[in-house]
Amino acid sequence: MTIRFLSWEVGVVLAGLCFGGCATAKPFDYTNFRAHQPRSILVLPPVNQSTDIRGTYGYLSTVTEPLAEMGYYVFPVAIVDQFLKDNGLPGPGEMQQAPLQKFAEIFGADSVLYLTLLEYGTQYHVLNSAATAHAKARLVDTKTGLVLWEGETRAQQVSGGGGGGLVGALVQAAVSQAVNSTADAAHLISADANTMLFTGISLSAYDAHSTGTGGPALLYGPYHPADQTSH
């Protein structure tokens, strides 16, 4: 009986998610985007406003997959980072202030993705820990300097604290703390944050303890079968 009740409940939650996640979209003006649709995107290392120094690269290394799966050519992030460092730009702040035309000239990039990490890291409480990745993004056309798209995303996963009474919760918190401190849980949740950022789909119950919002969605690029521009 208990099992039947639970699966019914889960079904309703999932159905609600599909309606909520797929059907609604915030209005966003794609005029500039459609007029200058990029084929390629150069992702610069994020400026990190969080207190966790692992943020920049913990986040940067989760951007490529969801972005390329939207149909864009994404420049190899680690080589771009190294190349810019070798050419006198030591960090994300300097890189993001470099003249836009340089990115067209040196890399042949149609657009540049500027990322800022507003929150990144894991906060430990007595009974649980919360890993958060929160970023905003701006896609800029290298030829005109026009902002083609802007988005923001925040994903959070709370570990421990679920069931098992007080002692169980304490043990869980200790375990997830130990796991998280070596694995950087915020890095793992960053992948979800980026999927939400580019697809615009908000997640809240694929894991009972994870929540997140994202969007507006980026339009599909030339390598995606659903892309509607002629090429």
Partner 1 sequence: MKTLAIALSFSFFLIGCTPRQTLYSWGHYEEVVYSSYSAPGKFPPERQIETLEQDYQKARSHQKSMPPGWHAHLGYLYYQTGKLDQAKQEFETEKATFPEATVFMDRLLARLPKS
Site residues (CB under 8 A) for partner 1?
14, 17-18, 21-22, 39-40, 54, 57-58, 60-62, 64-65, 68-69, 71-79, 82, 106-108, 110, 184, 187-188, 192, 195, 201, 203, 206-207, 210, 223-224
Pair 129, 160: CB distance under 8 Å: yes
Closest C-alpha to 151, from 65, 28, 2, 62: 28
* Minimum distance from residue 4 beta carbon to partner 1 (Å): 19
* Minimum distance from residue 102 beta carbon to partner 1 (Å): 12
Strand partners, 119: 134
- CA 103 to each of CA 72, 100, 107: distance values in angstroms, whole numbers, following the listed order: 16, 6, 6
* Minimum distance from residue 128 beta carbon to partner 1 (Å): 14
Identity of the residue, 16 or 31, whose beta carbon is nearer to partner 1 in the bound complex: 16
* Minimum distance from residue 110 beta carbon to partner 1 (Å): 8
Identity of the residue, 28 or 83, whose beta carbon is nearer to partner 1 in the bound complex: 83
Identity of the residue, 118 or 155, whose beta carbon is nearer to partner 1 in the bound complex: 155
Identity of the residue, 33 or 72, whose beta carbon is nearer to partner 1 in the bound complex: 72
Q: Is 201 left (phi over 0), alpha (psi -120 to 50) or beta?
A: beta
Sequence-separated (6 or more) residues with CB below 8 Å from residue 38:
72, 110, 111, 139, 141, 148, 221
The one-letter code for the residue type at 126 is V
